[in-house]
Amino acid sequence: MPGNKSELKSLRATKYTSSLRRSGGIDRLRGSSYRAGLRLLDLLDRTRGREHRFLPPRRYRRFIGNGDFLKVGREITAYMRDELGMGPSHDVLDAGCGAGRVAIPLTDVLTEGSYLGFDIVPHAIEWCSSTIGARHPNFRFEHVDIRQEIYNPEGRLSASDVRFPAEDSSFDIAALVGLISHLMPEEMDNYLAESARVLRAGGRCFATAYLVDDKVAENISRGNTAFSFTHDHGNYFVHSKEEPTYAIAYRLEHIQAVAARYDLRMCQEPRLGTWGVSTRRPASMDLLVLERA
């Protein structure tokens, strides 16, 4: 998540590994150089040997987020197991699955259940299908061509009305990891509605987000947060007015109100991260669990 202009510039480089957007000559040259550098690092990784057989190449995991790819995935999976009661026979939907950060550790857990991951970046889905799905038939991956200014600017579908590629009441857990922080209000509304639709009664929606209460809002205004949100829109804050979906923080009560419209209720207090109470980095996001009535 960007905190200043240099980080915003760095984040923009994700378009070189996440999409095939049309661009000018200079941008194409930068993209080619960037991808070439990642391929060299991938070659070095292969020479040294990878830590895990499913660890994707750097050019596929560059756009996923900060932190150790495998470690973060294991931590998320442990939380789902310990706090949500996820077991071997559960069915899990992973919206915005990327290059399999959560799917990889879940292969050791979901031995009897099923997994469906979808994402807007086609080559990430291709890699997951050919590498993870090929070895675990109960793991399925789908590309959904949603338009997003960073990761898929030429997508045909809108996040505000897209339908998840899943049947009604077919999952026990819906994971929205690293998504709400990139969704505008009408898009976030739809993603919660769709999560409720695909969940069984008693199923849970697990999400990471930047949650704002009065204390955090005061910290934001004073510049006392790890990440800066410079534009206050009442129920939500954005980091960049020009490119708002780079990072969005929401008032907790607004998310609760939206969720309630779709029979989702907060079943436990959020596990608060460190981003909103300190300028220290690295900083963690907040964790939110909503249960389907």
How many angstroms separate the Cα of 8 from the Cα of each of 33, 88, 184, 208, 228? Answer: 19, 40, 18, 21, 11
pLDDT at res. 4: 45
Q: How many Cα atoms within 13 Å fall on the side-chain side of residue 70?
A: 10
Rounded (to 5) percent helix, strand, coil in the chain: 40, 20, 40
CATH number at residue 194: 3.40.50.150
Measured over all CA atoms, what is the biggest interatomic distance in the chain, rounded to whole angstroms?
53
Domain range spanning residue 272?
Answer: 5-292
The Cα–Cα gap between 3 and 24 comes to 27
How many domains does one find in the chain? 1
Instruction: Report the alpha-carbon angle 138-141-145, nearest 5.
Output: 160
Element (H, E) at 287: strand 286-292
Are 63 and 17 spatial neighbours (Cβ–Cβ below 8 Å)? Answer: yes
pLDDT of residue 215: 96
pLDDT score of 8: 47
Strand partners, 119: 143
- DSSP assigned state of 234: S
Give the pLDDT of residue 62: 64
Per-residue pLDDT of the chain (293 residues; tens, 9 = 90+): 444 444 444 445 455 445 544 455 555 555 555 455 556 655 555 555 555 678 887 767 766 666 788 899 999 999 999 999 999 999 999 999 999 999 999 999 999 999 999 999 888 899 999 999 999 999 999 999 999 877 788 899 999 999 999 999 999 999 999 999 999 999 999 999 999 999 999 999 999 999 999 999 999 999 999 999 999 999 999 998 888 988 999 999 999 999 999 999 999 999 999 999 999 988 999 999 999 99
pLDDT of res. 158 = 97
Q: Give the span between the Cα atoms of 122 and 145, in whole angstroms.
A: 8
pLDDT, residue 58, reads 73
Give first-to-last CA distance, the chain, whole Å.
33
| Amino acid (1-letter code) at residue 225 | T
CA angle 104, 110, 115 (to 5 degrees): 70
